Structure 1
Amino acid sequence: MVQTKRVLVTGGAGFLGSYLCGQLLDQGHDVLCVDNFFTGSRSNVFHLLDNKRFELLRHDVSNPLYIEVDEIYNLACPASPIHYQFDPVQTTKTSVMGMINMLGLAKRLKAKVLQASTSEIYGDPEIHPQPESYRGAVSTTGPRACYDEGKRCAETLCFDYHRQHKVRIKVVRIFNTYGPRMHPGDGRVVSNFIVQALKGKDLTIHGSGEQSRSFCYRDDLVRGLMAMMATGDDFTGPVNIGNPNEFTIRQLANLVIELTGSSSKIIEQPRPVDDPTQRCPDITLARQKLGWEPTVQLREGLQSTIAYFEDLLSTGADSNNAGGVGR
C-alpha cells in the first residue's frame, strides 16, 4: 500500500507536469500544482479540478513559497527555445532563484526534492551517446545559455544544498520528450512537424536535417521521474531519462508525413545558433538504479500525439490558448 503524501509539482500545468499530477493522484497522493501559466495552461489540469486531493495555485517559483509538503517535483521552467528565449533573464531567474526557493523549502520541511534538469546541460556534445559523467560543451554567451546555464547552476545548487544542509535531492536530466498536451506553437520539432503536416504546410527542417535526436514519450518520461523519486536517499543522480533510439530530424519529418497522410514537402532553413548536432542518452544508470527504460517507441507515440493535435486543431484552438509546455 502506497503511503499518502502531500506532493508539490511546480510547472504542474505544463504538458509533463499535468500528466505527473494525474499519475500522483492515481497513486492516492494529495497534489499541489503550482504554475505561473507562462507556458502551462489551466486546460491541461481542468479534468483534475474536481478532485478533492488536487489544488491549483498560481505562483512564480522565482518568489518564495510557504507551504507544507512531503515531496517536491520542480518542473517549473519554459523548455522550448521560443519560450525560454522570449525573456532570457526571467528564464535564468526561474532556474536559479526557483531552485534556491525549492531547496530552501525542502530544507525547512526535510522534504525530498526532484529537479527536472535537462540534456541541454551537455550542450553540443563531443561524446556520443551522453553519459552522466560527461561535463558538456556549453556556450555561456549564446542565445540558449539562459536555459542551458540556468539548469547547470540549478544542478550545482542541488548538490551544494545536499552537501551543506543534507537536503534530500534527486536530479534527472530529461532528453527530448513529446506527447499529448504539447503546446502547438512551442517551436519544438515534434509539435512543429505535426502541426505543419496536419495543416498541409511544408515541414521546415534546420540545415540538411541530418542532426540527430532521441524522442521519449511523455508517459515513459513521467514514469522515470516517479521511479527516481522513489529511490533511497543514497542515490541523488544525476540520471539520464530519455529514449536511446536515435533518429535524424529528416527521418522524423518523413515519419510524420507518413503517419498523417500529408502531402507536405520538406524544406530546409538555416540552423539556429548552438543547435546541437547529436543528442542521445546513455541510460545505463537508469536501467541499473531505477529499473527503468522506455517502452513506447516513436511510431506508436507519434500516433497518439498526432491524434491529440488533430482533435486540438479541429476545435479551432491556436498556439495562444491551447496546450502547455511547462517542461
Structure 2
Amino acid sequence: MNSDQLVHRTHHTHNEEQHDPILQPPQNKPPTPIRSFSTDPIRYMLREQRLLFVLIGVAIATLFFSAFPLTNPEPASSLSSPLLHDPTRDPAFESGSVLPTRRILLEGLGSMNVGGKVPLGLKSKSQRIVVTGGAGFVGSHLVDRLIARGDSVIVIDNFFTGRKENLAHHFGNPKFELIRHDVVEPILLEVDQIYHLACPASPVHYKFNPTNVVGTLNMLGLAKRVGARFLLTSTSEVYGDPLQHPQAETYWGNVNPIGVRSCYDEGKRTAETLSMDYHRGLGIEVRIARIFNTYGPRMCIDDGRVVSNFVAQALRKEPLTVYGDGKQTRSFQYVSDLVEGLMRLMEGNHVGPFNLGNPGEFTMLELAQVVQDTIDPNAKIEFRPNTEDDPHKRKPDISKAKELLGWEPTVSLRKGLPLMVTDFRQRIFGDSKDNSNAIANAEAASTKMFA
C-alpha cells in the first residue's frame, strides 16, 4: 500500500469519528437550559429561596400578634397581668390587711368582676368537693345537699364515728367517691372546695381520739397545694364556760386549757388559729363556722350528747339522765338548718367566724320535758352529778350570719325532734317503717324561707 492511500484512509477515518453520533454528539446540539426566575418562578422560589420564605413568615406572624394580642392590654395604672399584681394595691388587702387569695392571684381581678351572687343550687358548673368526716351525722347530710346540687363529692372518713349506712344511697353514683382514710395522714386530691368536718364532736369520742390540730393542718396543706377554698367547722366550745351571754363572734371565751374538755376546746381554737394563719400568710381562701348544738337523723345513738341521750333513753324506757341541777342552758338546731348555713358560708365572700346555731334557749329540764311530750309522757328524770367544766349557758348571737349570709334557722325543736325520734326508733328496734317522707318534709321546711 502506497503512502497516498494510507493518508487518504486515515483522513477518512478521522472524519467518520467526528460525525459518529455514538462516539460523539453532534456539534450543533443546543445546551441544557439553566433554570431561572423567568423560566419557572414557582419552582425557583420553593427550591432556591426557602430562607426568604421563612423570614417573610416570621415577619407576618409578628405583625399579626402585634395587631391582635391574646389579651386586651390594660392601662399602666391598672392590673395588666396576674403575675405582676401588686397585692398592696388590692382594695381587699387595704381593708382587711390580708394577702390576696390564690384564686385572685391566678385569675386576676378582671375575671372576678361578676355582678351579683349565684344562688345555691343554680351554679353554672359543678364543682369537685371533698368532705372530711362525710360519713358522719352532719357530713352525710351535707353530702346529700351537694350531690343534689350537681357537684362531684369525695368523702374522706376513717369511720371512727361515721357509718357507711349514712351514704349507702349514693353508692353507684358516678359523682360520688368514698375513701377510707384518717386525716391525720396527708392525702393528695384535686378539688375546688374542702369542707373539713373530720373530728369527733361528742365527749365520749373526742376524749378517746382527739384529732383537731393535725387533721386541720393536713387539710390546709391540701388547700394550699391545689388552691381550694377551705371551710373549718369549729364549735361553740371555743367560748368555754362563757362569761358573756349570748355569745357573739367577738367574744374570746373562757376556756380551761388543761381541763378534761380542753383537747376539744383548745384543739378547735388552735384549728381556727391555723386557718387564719394560712389565710393571712399564704392567701388561702378560708371560711370558719362555729357550730352550736345540732340534732337530727343519723346521730350516733350512744355518743353522750344530751339530745341523743334523752331520745335513746326515752325509747328504751330508761330514766332521762340530767346532770347537775338541770338549769344549764343549750340551744338546739336541726341538721338541715346547719347544712344550709355551711353552704351559704362556703359560697359567700366572708371569712368569719360565724355562729351557726338556733338562738332558742332551753334548760336541760325543758329539753327533757319536750322529749317526754314527744316520746313518753311517763318517762322518769334522774339527776346525776355534773361533769367537769360543763358550760352553764350557751346561746348564739347570730346577727352576723343574718346580715352577711342571709341565714337563720327555721326548724323548731318541737318540729324537728319527732323526725329524729323516727330515725332512732327504726335503728334501735329495727322498725321497717319508712321515715324518708318525714325527713324530706323537714328538709323542705328548712329551706322554705330561702325559696
TM score, norm. by length of structure 1: 0.93
| Residue of 159, 164, 173 corresponding to 1:51 | 173
Which residue number in structure 1 is paired with residue 273 of structure 2? Answer: 156
Cα distance, 1:264 vs structure 2: 1.5
Which residue number in structure 1 is paired with residue 200 of structure 2? Answer: 78
- Aligned counterparts of 2:171 and 2:353: Cα–Cα separation in 1: 33
| Residue of 49, 61, 78 corresponding to 2:183 | 61
Provide the alpha-carbon RMSD of the alignment: 1.1
| Residue of 215, 225, 230 corresponding to 1:113 | 230
DSSP-derived class of the 1:68 partner = coil
| Residue of 364, 369, 380 corresponding to 1:265 | 380
- Aligned counterparts of 1:256 and 1:306: Cα–Cα separation in 2: 9
Cα distance, 1:262 vs structure 2: 4.3
Q: Deviation string for 1:190-224 (max 9, x for gaps)?
A: 01000100111110000110000000100000000
Flag structure 1 segments of 5+ consecutive residues without an equivalent: 317-327
Q: Structure 1: which amino acid aligns with 2:348?
A: T
Q: Structure 2: which amino acid aligns with 1:34?
A: I
DSSP-derived class of the 2:314 partner = helix
Cα distance, 1:267 vs structure 2: 1.1
Which residue number in structure 2 is paired with residue 323 of structure 1? Answer: none
Cα distance, 1:261 vs structure 2: 2.5
Report if the CA contact (8 A) 1:198-1:262 is conserved. no
1:217 and 2:342 equivalent?
A: no
- Counterparts of residues 155-304 of structure 1 (less than 5 Å): 155-232=272-349, 235-304=350-419
Q: Deviation string for 1:111-132 (max 9, x for gaps)?
A: 1000000000000000000000
DSSP-derived class of the 2:255 partner = coil
- Aligned counterparts of 1:206 and 1:139: Cα–Cα separation in 2: 20
Q: Deviation string for 1:211-241 (max 9, x for gaps)?
A: 0000010000000000000102xx1000000
- Counterparts of residues 31-42 of structure 1 (less than 5 Å): 31-42=153-164
Which is greater in Rg? Answer: 2
More divergent stretch after superposition (111-120 vs 94-103): 94-103
1:99 and 2:222 equivalent?
A: no
Report if the CA contact (8 A) 1:171-1:237 is conserved. yes
DSSP-derived class of the 2:145 partner = helix
DSSP-derived class of the 1:161 partner = helix
Q: Structure 1: which amino acid aligns with 2:186?
A: P
Cα distance, 1:31 vs structure 2: 0.1
- Aligned counterparts of 2:269 and 2:311: Cα–Cα separation in 1: 31
Q: Deviation string for 1:91-127 (max 9, x for gaps)?
A: 1xx2111111111111111110000000000000000
Pick the structure with more strand per residue: 1
Which residue number in structure 2 is paired with residue 14 of structure 1? Answer: 136
The list of structure 1 runs, each at least 4 consecutive aligned residues, that deviate by more than 6 angstroms after superposition, is: none
- Aligned counterparts of 2:273 and 2:139: Cα–Cα separation in 1: 23
Flag structure 2 segments of 5+ consecutive residues without an equivalent: 1-121, 432-451
- Aligned counterparts of 2:226 and 2:404: Cα–Cα separation in 1: 26
Report if the CA contact (8 A) 1:200-1:262 is conserved. no
- Aligned counterparts of 2:279 and 2:132: Cα–Cα separation in 1: 20
- Aligned counterparts of 2:171 and 2:364: Cα–Cα separation in 1: 38
Length, aligned pairs only: 310
Report if the CA contact (8 A) 1:175-1:242 is conserved. yes
| Residue of 428, 435, 449 corresponding to 1:313 | 428
TM score, norm. by length of structure 2: 0.68
